[in-house]
Structure 1
Amino acid sequence: MGLECRCADEADRGISLLIPPEAIPRGKIYEIYLTVQKKEDLSSEARQMRQPLAARESPLKGSSRPAVTAAIHPPLLLPPRSRQAFPSLPPPCRLPLAGGQTLLGPVVSCGPPGVMLTRPVILSMDHCSDAVPENWAVRLKKQTYEGAWEDVLVMGEELVSEPYYCQLEAETCRVFTEQLGRLALVGESLSMAAAKRLKLVLFAPAYCTTLEYSIRVYCMDDTQDVFTVGT
């Protein structure tokens, strides 16, 4: 049995975690979670926040199986002693970006960190780059237990022995890994042709009783999570 986890929200944020069959060793029970960090949480003094996770079996198309709240594989009732305690992620802190660098997608946390996986899981998330390799140096960053951010992958320089592999599609980034944690996709422009997709969002009152009409305009990254979290 494989599991697909998505952020617990009515709207689709374009973020999911696919756990393939046999990725979790037989006899183990892990409570898997998946969250997206709000911008206000990414401050140096922000406390750690975990949003609920809706983890569900990957049904066939048209199926109406109910959602479950934990990733349990294999589907066996195991005694409490089979559960393991794992370290928590550090509190969210601002992702430092050097000159020419920009965040290309959401900051996503999946865990618990330290779980033993026997096959890579697939973390999928939207990105807003033009996906032209010649224009960008794309890095996958991970937050350490101490709270610092480090590069764990530079696209185009991957090694077979590395625990991460990143597949960049037109609008989606898929990360294959056996190590869970807090991850972010960062791009560094290599030329003036490097571009990000942006979205202009306008808000206005449905009804106006005065001669003044107020309109708010926001310029956002063109990813589903930004619009959902920001509203």
Structure 2
Amino acid sequence: MNSTDSRASAYTTLSRDSVHEVEIKRSRFITYLFRVESEAQAREHIAALRKTHFDARHHCSAFILGPDRMIQRSNDDGEPSGTAGIPMLEALAKRDTGHGTDLSDVLAVCVRYFGGIKLGAGGLVRAYSDSVSQALEHSTLHVRQRLRIFTLPAPHALAARWENELRAAGYQLEPSVWEAAHAVLHIGIDDTEHDAGQLAAFTAALTSGAGRLQPFDTKWVDLP
């Protein structure tokens, strides 16, 4: 993240949707994790699970959206206030992703089939928090990175060599556009001023000062 931009330039999310079940004092807690990008998408998943598990007593949920995690919602769905949705949300928000970035664009829905034994407020908080934490333990995560895209016109005869040298230096290249007068290289870097400065210096050396590096776009990509 650069010093003049407080927006998150990377965050962690789910590689794929998953489900994990635990049993606590005869109650079944089935936790579904979904990768979502909007509140509408999150609520569609919750509504679908209400139909799938129509006979369950509770369908508690929590979700976090956006690179800066500006949208956070939770729902106790009939459990005593504060004993389900908030503990689930905290389990998502406080998750150590192992990547040094926060977890976001994720929905957790915990379907509970009551087993006949009351857990009490403290027991419910632990049960819902642990259910989400365990589901995350069994999930695969990856990082999403905001890239700044630059264009670099290249003479046809030099385009392939410039591409190879940029790749060898660790830069991400999108498909080049071959125009009549020249090829246009599209180069992706981490969206920071430091990385932009390094790219400018590298391309200046690569092109002997003749390259016209221009800002083009920003985009989010899933890192391998």
TM-score, normalised relative to structure 2: 0.30
* Structure 1 or 2: more helix by fraction: 2
The structure number with the bigger radius of gyration is 2
